Amino acid sequence: MQFSEEIIQKLTRLEIFSDFTDSTEENKRILTKICEALEIKDFVKGDVIINEGDIGDTLYILYTGSVQVKRRTPGNEQFAVVNLSAEQNVFFGEVALVDSDKRSASVIALENCRTLYLDGKTFKALCDEEPVLGYRATYRIARRIAASLRHSNKELLILYKALIDEVEGE
């Protein structure tokens, strides 16, 4: 993708690249490299962008449109987790940049969408060229994973307490 000031501005509004907001020459250079590495992929309403359970290695940035994140229950029933729009400066699939594993949720286009994407191999090559990018972006990914883990632990404790209350109430 060609350098674009609009895309650079979008990148700096994303949590994963938020450490590059200062207008230093180093930050501009790194953001330009990221911008040049991004590819565009369009989706139409109803398209599955990410499918839960598939192996993935791609970060998607929602540039236009809106999506719905869905998960499956242990009974294999799908439920909506959240709806997201491009105006919210969202990205998804970031864990795949550091660990190509099964996707933890599905992402479906609620309307026609344009995404910018970056695969793990390209990201790792960029990080080899620009270690500051690797450190800062990976740090942001790690913080996001840690927050998700803390949230999951709280939910597990609530479920455990409810189970104990139910068993003791019998």
**50 and 60 in contact (C-beta within 8 Å)?**
yes
Number of domains in the chain: 1
What is the identity of the amino acid at 161?
Answer: K
Dump pLDDT digits (tens) for 65-122.
999 999 888 888 888 889 999 999 999 888 888 877 788 889 999 999 999 999 989 9
Q: Domain containing 32 — which CATH number?
A: 2.60.120.10
How far does Cα 38 stand from its chain's mean position?
Answer: 14
Sheet holding 58-64, edge to edge: 39-43, 113-119, 58-64, 91-92
Note down the domain range covering 97.
Answer: 5-169
Does position 3 have pLDDT exceeding 70, yes or no? Answer: no
**71 and 79 in contact (C-beta within 8 Å)?**
yes
pLDDT band of residue 47 (cuts 50, 70, 90) is: very high
Strands annotated E in 32-161: 39-43, 48-50, 58-64, 66-72, 78-85, 91-92, 106-109, 113-119
How far does Cα 125 stand from its chain's mean position?
Answer: 19
What distance in Å separates the CA atoms of residue 121 and residue 100, rounded to the nearest whole number? 10
What distance in Å separates the CA atoms of residue 155 and residue 34, rounded to the nearest whole number? 36
Regarding pTM above 0.85, the answer is no
Rounded to 10 degrees, the C-alpha dihedral 76/82/88/91 comes to -20
Q: Best-predicted range by mean pLDDT among 12-26, 58-72, 133-147?
A: 58-72
What distance in Å separates the CA atoms of residue 154 and residue 159, rounded to the nearest whole number? 9
Please name the residue ranges forming H helices in 53-130.
Answer: 120-129
Which letter does DSSP use for residue 75 in this model? T
Instruction: Write down the pLDDT at residue 46.
Output: 96
